[in-house]
Every structure is written in structure tokens, then in C-alpha cells.
Chain A
Amino acid sequence: MPDSPRQLLQAIALALTEEVAPHVDDPFAQMQCKAAAELLANLADELDWAQAPLHARNQQLRAILDALQRSGWPAANRSASGSAPSPAPDGAEATRAALLAELREGMRWLAAAPPEAATEVDQLLRADLDQQVAALRRGMFR
């Protein structure tokens, strides 16, 4: 995912203004392009990642970490998130970053673990992906 919705929308507005609009011949279509760019640039300052989906995703990530522990992962470094829903001081984005870092450690452990240790983890990874895909508007690469 991009760093923030603000950066993404600002970059799209710039691309529409400088890369697309100059090459649109029809004046009406060109103005539509410029209007869309202006709208996006203004919306960019009003946006942040919606908190509810972030909290939901963090719960999914915690569930995978819990499954790793049930599979035998010692989780020596598991301190940033805990298994309880305890938001980090900087909010859900910081919590997500901590959870993903812990998951990376867990996946390294899983690579050397017996295959059966992965069963529940793999199921939860798939469920997490299914939720992400369900939230997408459209997919070019289903």
C-alpha cells in the first residue's frame, strides 16, 4: 500500500495535471481532467486511512500471531502488540507496523518448523487475503 492516502491522491492529481491533461485534445474532456485533479488535490488534505478497517486488519494480524504461538513459536520479541487489542500510542497505523514486524519474525520461524505447524497460519493468511479482496472495488488480476 502507498505511504498515505494524502501522498497517493496528491501524486494522482499531479499526474492528471501534467501527464494526462496536456495530451487530451477535446476541451471538455481536458477540463474534466483538470477538475478531477483539483478535486483530488483538495481531498488529499482531508483524508487519512479510515480507522475502522485498520483496526479490523490489526485484529486479523493478531489472530495470525496467536496461531503462530499455538504452533509453537516462542515469540520472544512479541511485546509491541500483545494478543489483546491494545492500540499503540501512535494509533492503528503504528500498531499495524509493529504487528507486521512481529509477523515477519514469526514467518522466519515457521520456515524451519514442521509442516503441520503452518496449517492454521496458512488458513488465517488466506482468510486475511479474502477480506482484503472483498474490500476491493474491482480487480484486474483475479
Chain B
Amino acid sequence: MSATQPVQEGLRGFLAEQLHDPQLTLAEVRRHIEGFSWETWEMLVDWRQDGTPHRRRLIARRVPEAGLVPPYDVPGQWELARALQHAPGVPVPTPLWADPTGTATGRPLYVMEHVDGDVPVPWNIHSFFADAEARAHLGRQLIDVLGAIHRIDVAALPTGLRGQADGDPAAEVWHWQSIYEQLGGEPVPVLDRAFGWLSAHAGDVSGRRTLVHGDFRIGNAIVRDGSVVAMLDWELAHIGDPVEDVANFCMRLYRGKLKIPGGVLEIDDVLSTYRLSSGHDVSPAQLRFWLVFNDVRSAVTFLVAADLFARERTRDLRYAAFSHQTPYLLRHVMADLIADA
């Protein structure tokens, strides 16, 4: 029996119960290896309903053995996904069922529809689209989606999102500072400098409070026929300053070979599209503040990965490799903090 067999059997039993067919079968089951957050399982499901055969491709997102951005809150993600179904202009996969207690596979999970398409990433984007205009078209679509996310009525969102009860516009910064300090590793001078800088510049936030995706970038979008058909990976969603998302899209880490945000749009184009989409300007100081924050957050995430391996919470060798990648991100921190080219 393979190591994944118990999970597959658990998934089959869970889906058989949801779809009321004890004979339900799974095919083409595979665990996706990309990403370091939720365990993602893809499967083709065959079942019968009232004697009629049905087939559907599904995705299960299972709490990971050692994820980078805990807590992994299945009920919270489930409720958010359901709320987003009603948000105009925000494409998300349809959530179907949840196992919040982990009865089926030993860890909590939720199941959603599989969305056909591709996930472009900045390092292959130059070959993904026919020309610069096609890339920019997709980039503007993404920024339109971002504007739609930021127009969602916060009061209509499920309770329990981080930041909902904390009116401090820089609360997300202190949240990540706390994660960094609780790691208890040796101090990282650039991060100490950056958190001090963020504290001194906390007045540069926009003052707006919206739903923030938390990791809004092209690599979290599914694209089909040149259109954005789903935004994924909402585990960092919270209430806060929406400029954080704009800056995340513009991060140096995701500029690819073309050295432009997401590999698709110039910064001026990002900001002008966002102005049209959201009705709000983003000032250079606001963008700089959140660029530095996003660089810092990514670097802290790398430290978390290395720490998980060092403490034997995972044996995924990729986590160990993160410790030697952190200096690259710290260079991004300093470049944005000094605000040079």
C-alpha cells in the first residue's frame, strides 16, 4: 500500500457519503507538488445518481503536515469561499463540502470544483502569451479582479477573519513581526531594520479597510483562453489596507524576466488600472510601505520553512533549502526600503 493510499481511501469514503453512492470511484488521483501551504489533491470522481452515471473532477484542500502560514482554518476558509460566491467580479472555485474535524483522512479538508485552465507564473510568462498586449490585457483583468475584491462589503464577510476586530491599519505588520520574533532564531539584522522602518512609517498606510486577499499575484490565478477564471489561495485573507494587495502584485519576487509586476504590467499601468477599478489612488509612500512589508513577510515565511525542517516538523527537503534563499529576499527588502530602482 502506498503512503497516500489511506488518504485516497478516506477521500473516496467522504465523497461517497456526500454524493450518496457507496460504489463511487476515484481515478487519476494525484497530490499537487506545487505550493507550500494546503495539501492539494486532484481527482476524477465517478458516481451514480438515480441510476444515471456522473463524472466530475474535484479538488480537495487538506490541512498540511507543516504549512507555512498557519492556522489552517477549514471552517473559516469554507465560509469565506461561500461568501465570495456572491461577490461580483471575483471568480473563485465553487466550494462543495467540508470535513472540519478530519474524520475522513485524519486532517480537516474541504472539497471544491476543479477549474480548468493554466496558472501562469512570472518566470514563464514571457512565453505564455503571444505578445505584450495579450500579457497586459491579462494583467489589467487581474487588477480589475483586485478592485472587485476590495469593493466587497466587509460587513457581509464571515466573522473570524484576521484584522476584523483590530482597527489598527498596520495590524498585519505586527502580526508578522510576532511570527518572526516567536521563531526564536538568531536575529536577522535586515528584518530588525525593516520592522523598525515599518513601525516608523506606519502613518503611510492608506486608511482604507477592505478584504485583503493576502497573496494576490498572477501565480494564484487560473487563466483560460486569456481570461482569469479563478483566484486561488485565500489562506492569508484578512481585513486590512487594500494597498497591501496592490504591492504584493508588484513585488520584485514576482517580476520575472521582464522585470515588471507579475511579468505582465508596468507599475504605472497597475496603478492607473487600479484607480479605475477601485476608485482609489495609491500614493508612492503607500506602495513603498506595503512593498517593504510584503518582502519582509516573504522572508519571514522562508525562515518559518527552515525552522519547520530544523524542528523535524517536516522532512520536505525544499523547506531546508529555503534557509539559503532568504538573502535574495532580504535584498528586495533593502531595495524597496531605500526605494531605488
Contacts and interface: CB of A to CB of B under 8 A. Distances in A.
Interface string B182-213: 00001101101101110110000000000000
Given A11-B320, A19-B315, A111-B199, A103 B192 contact: yes
A136 B324 contact: yes
**Secondary structure type dominating chain A contacts:** helix
Contacts of B17: none
A129 B295 CA distance: 15
Interface string B135-155: 000000000000000000000
B187 A2 contact: no
A104 B187 contact: yes
B34 interface: no
B225 interface: no
A112 B3 contact: no
A141 B323 contact: no
Interface string A100-135: 110110011011100000100110011011101100
Contacts of B193: 107, 110, 118, 121-122, 125
B192 A2 contact: no
Contacts of B309: 2, 11
Contacts of B338: 122, 126
B310 A129 contact: no
A62 B192 CA distance: 16
Contacts of A64: 189
A132 B334 contact: no
A142 B312 CA distance: 27
A2 B323 contact: yes
A125 to B, nearest CB: 6
Contact of A100 (B2, B189, B321): B189
Contacts of A122: 193, 334, 337-338
Contacts of A142: 328
Query: On chain B, which size bracket covers the interface?
Result: 20 to 34
Nearest to A1: B323
B316 interface: yes
A2 B306 contact: yes
A31 interface: no
Contacts of A23: 2-3
Interface residues of A, number: 43
Query: Which of B190, B193, B316 counts the most chain A CB atoms within 10 A?
Result: B193
A15 B315 CA distance: 5
B186 A97 contact: yes
B280 interface: no
Contacts of B159: none
Nearest to A142: B328
B196 A111 contact: yes
A18 interface: yes
B283 interface: no
A3 B311 CA distance: 10
Interface string B300-341: 000000100110100111001101110111110010011000
A103 B192 CA distance: 8
A8 B320 contact: yes
B327 A125 contact: no
A7 B192 contact: no
A33 to B, nearest CB: 11
A140 interface: yes
Contacts of A8: 310, 320
Contacts of B267: none
A110 B196 contact: yes
B29 interface: no
Nearest to B340: A126
A133 B320 contact: no
B187 A100 contact: yes
A43 B338 CA distance: 42
16 contacts: A2-B306, A8-B310, A11-B309, A11-B320, A12-B320, A15-B316, A18-B315, A100-B187, A111-B199, A111-B200, A112-B200, A121-B193, A122-B337, A125-B334, A126-B334, A140-B325
List the 5 closest A-B pairs by CB distance, nearest first.
Answer: A111-B196, A107-B192, A15-B315, A132-B327, A104-B187
Interface of A: 1-3, 7-8, 11-12, 14-16, 18-20, 22-23, 61, 64, 96-97, 100-101, 103-104, 107-108, 110-112, 118, 121-122, 125-126, 128-130, 132-133, 136, 139-142
Given A104-B187, A107-B192, A112-B196, 5 more contacts: A1-B323, A2-B309, A104-B189, A111-B199, A140-B321
